[in-house]
Amino acid sequence: MAILSTLPLAHEQIAAPTTHPWRLISLWHLTSLDAPTVAVVWMLGFAGAARVRLPVWLPIVLALAAWSFYIGDRLLDAHNARTPLRERHHFHWRHRRIFLPIAIMSAAVGLALVFHSMPLAARERNSVLAAAALAYFGSVHFPGRTSLRRFKIPKELLVGILFTLACAAPVLARIAGPETTDRRLGLFPALLCFTALAWLNCHAIESWESAIEEGNVAIRNLGLGLAAIVLLAAGIEVGVHDLRVAALLAAAALSAFFLAWLDRQRSALDAITLRAAADLVLLTPVLLLTARFFGL
Query: Tens digits of per-residue pLDDT, 49-85?
Result: 999 999 999 999 999 999 999 999 899 888 887 556 7
**pLDDT at 112 > cutoff 80:** yes
**In Å, how far are 3, 91, 182, 231 from 35, measured between CA atoms?**
6, 16, 30, 25
pLDDT tens-digit series, residues 138-175:
666 666 555 455 556 778 888 899 999 999 999 998 88
pLDDT at position 150 is 54
**pTM for the predicted model, two decimal places:** 0.86
The confidence score (pLDDT) of residue 94 equals 94
Q: In this predicted structure, what is the pLDDT of residue 294?
A: 53
Across 224-233, average pLDDT: 95
Pick the residue with more confidence: 45 or 238? 45
Contact 35, 16 (CB under 8 A): no
> Could you tell me which residue, 295 or 270, shows the higher pLDDT?
270
CA distances for 94 relative to 30, 31, 283, angstroms: 12, 12, 28
Q: DSSP states of 94-141 as a string?
A: HTHHHHHHHHHHHHHHHHHHHHHHS-HHHHHHHHHHHHHHHHHHHHHH
Q: Which among 139-148, 178-187, 219-228 has the top mean pLDDT?
A: 219-228
Packed helices 155-174 and 57-79: angle between N→C axes, nearest 10 degrees: 160
For residue 229, the model assigns a pLDDT of 96
pLDDT at 122 over 60: yes
Residue type, 213: E
Decide if pLDDT at 218 tops 60: yes
Query: Using one digit for the tens of pLDDT, what is the confidence trace for 237-290?
Result: 888 778 899 999 999 999 999 999 999 988 888 889 999 999 999 999 998 887
| pLDDT-derived band at 18, boundaries 50, 70, 90 | very low
